[in-house]
Amino acid sequence: MRDGLIITALSALPRHAASRWMGRAAQSTLSRHAIRLFCAVYQPDLSEVEQPLASFPTLQAFFRRPLRPGARPIADAPLTSPADGTLAATGLVSGGRYQQSEQHHGTVATLLSRAGDWEGWRYTTVYLSPRDYHRVHAPFSGEVVRLEHVAGERWPVFAAAVRQLRGLFDNNERLVIELDTGVVVLVGALGVSEIETALTVGRRVSAGDELGSFGFGSTVIVLSAAVPPVVEVGQPVVVGQPL
């Protein structure tokens, strides 16, 4: 019942306009005064941040904060976490579908905005909360063969929405980064004013290299060769950790 009420309320919200407004507000110089309040509410780990809070010109800049060198060692593993957050789902693609939640599945071809044979590949979903580090890193090495921004909805991606909204990730705005070794999808959400990347097609990346960043919290979905999972769903993960 509570989930349904939350989604009903969000249905009445102009989500794209709200996201644009939140983005403009977070990029204004006045927003720097909200950084300490943000930290008090969400309690990010400031010991990992190299520069002092006062040096961030906007809340958006703090949200996209870099970490001190060495804060995220990259494991020598076939699949590492692309982001800090919570492992929300993992499994093997079956019938062209991946599990969004216990209630719903998504379709890989729709998520990636292209047809292809992904049967038997592993999907891995990491949810980023507001407190998390919001840069996304390569979970494996490879060459960038495709970059596509897919316009879409701005539904939130917290647990209630994921449970209630069929095809949530398939319908939300997203950036598809396809390597010759797998795919990383950055899924936008309510309040995610921007998804940025400096990548170009043909660039080769190593595991742990930065791929892009979010303006605010969201979700990353990885498609990779099938490997046995070493982290259970619901557990926290950090960039570079074996998955």
Same domain, 92 and 33: no
- Statement to judge: residues 151 and 190 lie in one domain: yes
* Domain containing residue 146: CATH number: 2.70.70
72 part of a folded domain: no
| Number of domains within the chain | 2
Which has the closest alpha carbon to 51: 40, 65, 38?
Answer: 65
Pair (158, 195) in one structural domain: yes
Q: Are residues 139 and 229 in the same domain?
A: yes
Residue 77 lies in a domain: no
Question: How crowded is residue 32: how many other Cβ atoms within 10 Å of its Cβ?
Answer: 18
Q: pLDDT tens-digit profile of 191-233?
A: 665 789 999 999 999 999 999 998 876 899 999 999 999 999 9
Q: Per-residue pLDDT for 69 more than 50?
A: yes
- Which of 12, 28, 63 is where one domain is finished? 63
Cβ proximity of 32 and 56 under 8 Å: yes
Specify whether 166 is located in the same domain as 127. Answer: yes
- Per-residue pLDDT at 154: 84
Query: b/e string for 96-128 if b means 16 or more Cβ within 10 A?
Result: bbbbbbeebbbbbebbbeeeeebeebbbbbbbb
pLDDT in tens, 71-97: 999 999 999 999 999 999 999 999 999
The predicted structure's pLDDT at residue 190: 74
pLDDT of residue 94: 97
Q: Do 97 and 47 share a structural domain?
A: no
Question: Would you name the residues annotated as active-site residues?
Answer: 84, 137, 218
pLDDT of 1 reads 45
Contact 222, 129 (CB under 8 A): no
| Closest C-alpha to 157, from 131, 177, 127 | 127
Token pair listed for 233: 């769903």
Domain that residue 233 falls in: 85-237
27 and 143 share one domain: no
User: Does any domain span residue 29?
Assistant: yes
In a domain, 79, yes or no: no
Are residues 219 and 109 part of one domain? yes
SS3 assignment for the chain? CHHHHHHHHHHCCCHHHHHHHHHHHHHCHHHHHHHHHHHHHHCCCHHHECCCHHHCCCHHHHHCCCECCCCCCCCCCCCECCCCEEEEEEEECECCEEECCCCCEEEHHHHHCCCCCCCCCEEEEEECCCCCCCEEECCCCEEEEEEEEECCECCCCCHHHHHHCCCHHHHECEEEEEECCEEEEEECCCCCCCEECCCCCCCEECCCCEEEEECCCCEEEEEECCCCCCCCCCCEECCCCEC
* 69 inside domain: no
Q: 200 and 90, same structural domain? A: yes
The answer to whether the CB of 58 falls within 8 A of the CB of 29 is: yes
Same domain, 213 and 96: yes
Indicate if 126 and 162 belong to the same structural domain: yes
Residue 152 lies inside a defined structural domain of this protein: yes
Regarding whether 123 and 189 lie in a shared domain, the answer is: yes
Taking residues 130-145, report their average pLDDT: 96
In a domain, 97, yes or no: yes
Cα distances from 140 to residues 93, 157, 182, 200, 243, in angstroms, run: 19, 25, 8, 17, 11
Structure token pair of residue 230? 């070493």
